[in-house]
Amino acid sequence: MDYPGKLRNSRFFREFFFDRWVRWLYHARPMPDRLPVNIEPLRLAKAGRSMHGRLALTQMQRLKQSLQSAQGDADVELHFGVDENGVHYVRGLVRADLELVCQRCLQPISLHVDAELVLGIVASEREAGRLPGEYEPLLVGEDGLIRLSDLVEDELLLALPIVAMHPEGECAPAARPVAEPEAGEENEAQSPFAVLEKLKNRRQD
């Protein structure tokens, strides 16, 4: 629609048409591919926002300890909202191709992760205990901020196997086999996935 020049430049046009239209578009569209370092999950849930983009695996220090190589990115898609019971949530997908170390032959092994997350946003452990069963708790601090890479890193760690190994018979022939731990031995001290065990236990508590 073509508006006369005086109307287009008028205060009325700027404040009651253009500004409101731009603000509506900004809030209706998902966030751009450049993901923020920190997010406020509760505020995003109240606003019904979404975001998508990529995070470098090199940002994730705990995950790097379990990887042969930290090259590459994690694809992240998150949707924030409030359900019919008033639970503020974040739902989404985290996808990544990870290069681990086979604990049988010590050679690289590739793992594709396609992890779905369904998190209820809470401010205390008491609130976490009241979440419906479909939600895992996402605990935010007093300032309401969390580091986005920490959230994504947690999901990738949960998707890792306890012990990464090639299928039987697919290890490199020239590789020197690693002795399997005997039954009853503590694997946590030997496994590079000890951080994963701790994370899983914390989710189950």
* DSSP, residue by residue, 103-130: TTT--EEEEEEEEEEEEEEESSHHHHHT
Amino acid in position 13: F
Pairing between strand 50-56 and 88-101?
A: unpaired
Which of 48, 58, 54, 111 has the alpha carbon at shortest distance from 77?
Answer: 54
pLDDT tens string 78-108: 999 999 999 999 999 999 999 999 988 989 9
Distance CA 167, CA 54 (A): 30
pLDDT tens string 156-205: 999 999 999 998 888 877 555 455 555 554 444 444 445 555 555 555 55
pLDDT for res 168: 85
Amino acid in position 48: G
Q: What is the pTM of this model?
A: 0.68
Which of 55, 58, 54, 53 has the alpha carbon at shortest distance from 71?
Answer: 58
